[in-house]
Structures are given as structure tokens and as C-alpha cells.
């Protein structure tokens, strides 16, 4: 696991199951107000990662690609919510604005696929994950934290997933 700097972590996945396991570790740490951006080409594994995230966070709801409904909502028995936005089909940042991300963040955490399409409406502080296809079942994931909350989150994730400080 190469450590690029203290706010960046690079990881490799050799299977969809491994990506889901990484997602579970990350999801377990999410709190209301957290923003996680997942950037990567079609099929790079964004939705697969979210499947693990929702499960690790504690939702029994099934995760599907929100490409057509734009935003999915997952619930947990304690009433908390996780929002899963797919910006692929958004025509403009103002269309994204109408989805009202600020309100979502007061009510839960927000995970976004294709975040680069709505960069303008995203808070500066977030965890940014870049996923890339390497081979049939091989993916490269780079986690970059911006802001104190996400630096702490990434450090805890690194510890949970790899057992290193």
C-alpha cells in the first residue's frame, strides 16, 4: 500500500468483493455531513464501492446505480440516511443545485458518482476517490482527503483497512 502523502492513500483491488470490502471499511466511518466523491470511468467500480459503503454504514437497503433516478437514498434502522447521487446525466450545475445537496448534508452523508460534472456545487472539503481500470478485475483506487474532517477520516480508514498509522 503506497502512501503518497499523509492525505493520500493508494490502494489496489483485485476483485469486486475486495472493492466492496474496502467500501465497507469506509462506510462504517461515515457521519452526516460527509461528502465522498467517486471519480472514474464507466465500469471502474464506483457503484461497487458504494455497495460496500452502504452495507458497512449499516443499511440493509440494496444499492443500485442511480443513473436514471439521479439520487438514491439508503436508510439505517436508527433513521439516519445516506444519499447516493449519480451526476452522469445531469445537464448543468443548476440542475444539480435543484437536488439541494446542502439539505441532504444536514440529513445524512452524500456519495457522488461523476462528481467532476458538478464540481461547482460541492463543498471544498471532501474525500475524493479516483478509481481506474487496470485489468479485468484489477482496479486502482486513490483516496485524497481535503479538510480536517476528511484527513481524520482517511487516517482512521487507513488504520482500519491496513493497520498502519
Ligand X SMILES: Nc1ncnc2c1ncn2[C@@H]1O[C@H](COP(=O)(O)OP(=O)(O)OP(=O)(O)O)[C@@H](O)[C@H]1O
Footprint on this chain of ligand X (rule: CB under 6 A): 13, 15-16, 18-19, 40, 42-48, 65, 113, 137, 139
Are 2 and 10 in contact by the 8 Å Cβ rule? The answer is yes
Residue in the shown chain whose Cβ atom is closest to ligand X = 45
Among candidate residues 136, 135, 104, 107, the one with its CA nearest the CA of residue 121: 104
Contact positions vs Mg ion (CB under 5 A): 46-47, 65, 113
Could you tell me the smallest distance in angstroms from the CB atom of residue 60 to ligand X?
Answer: 20
- Partner from Mg ion, ligand X, none contacting 45, C-beta within 5 to 8 A by type: ligand X
Nearer to Mg ion, 111 or 158 (CB): 111
- Partner from ligand X, Mg ion, none contacting 158, C-beta within 5 to 8 A by type: none
Q: Distance (Å, rounded) from C-alpha 146 to C-alpha 5? A: 12
For residue 88, how many other CB atoms are within 10 A of its CB?
A: 15
Could you tell me the smallest distance in angstroms from the CB atom of residue 154 to ligand X?
Answer: 20
Could you tell me the smallest distance in angstroms from the CB atom of residue 68 to ligand X?
Answer: 11
Q: Distance (Å, rounded) from C-alpha 85 to C-alpha 112? A: 5
- Partner from ligand X, Mg ion, none contacting 55, C-beta within 5 to 8 A by type: none
Nearer to Mg ion, 114 or 143 (CB): 114
Q: How many residues are recorded in the chain?
A: 165
Could you tell me the smallest distance in angstroms from the CB atom of residue 51 to ligand X?
Answer: 8
The Cβ-side half-sphere exposure at 10, using a 13 Å CA radius, reads: 8
Among candidate residues 78, 89, 90, the one with its CA nearest the CA of residue 32: 78
Could you tell me the smallest distance in angstroms from the CB atom of residue 90 to ligand X?
Answer: 13
Q: Distance (Å, rounded) from C-alpha 47 to C-alpha 51? A: 6
Amino acid at each position: 500500500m503506497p502512501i503518497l502523502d499523509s492525505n493520500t492513500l493508494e490502494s489496489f483491488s483485485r476483485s469486486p468483493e475486495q472493492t466492496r470490502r474496502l467500501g465497507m471499511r469506509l462506510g462504517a466511518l461515515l457521519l452526516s455531513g460527509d461528502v465522498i466523491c467517486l471519480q472514474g470511468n464507466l465500469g471502474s467500480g464506483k457503484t461497487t464501492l458504494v455497495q460496500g459503503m452502504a452495507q458497512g454504514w449499516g443499511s440493509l437497503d440494496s444499492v443500485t446505480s442511480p443513473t436514471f433516478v439521479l439520487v438514491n437514498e439508503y436508510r439505517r434502522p436508527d433513521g439516519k440516511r445516506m444519499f447516493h447521487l449519480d451526476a452522469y446525466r445531469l445537464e448543468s450545475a443548476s440542475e444539480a443545485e435543484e437536488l439541494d445537496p446542502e439539505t441532504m448534508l444536514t440529513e445524512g452523508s452524500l456519495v457522488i458518482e461523476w462528481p467532476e460534472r458538478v464540481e461547482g456545487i460541492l463543498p471544498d472539503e471532501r474525500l475524493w476517490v479516483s478509481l481506474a481500470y487496470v485489468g479485468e478485475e484489477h482496479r486502482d483506487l486513490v483516496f485524497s482527503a481535503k479538510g480536517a474532517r476528511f484527513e481524520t477520516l482517511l487516517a482512521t480508514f487507513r488504520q482500519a483497512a491496513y493497520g498502519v498509522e
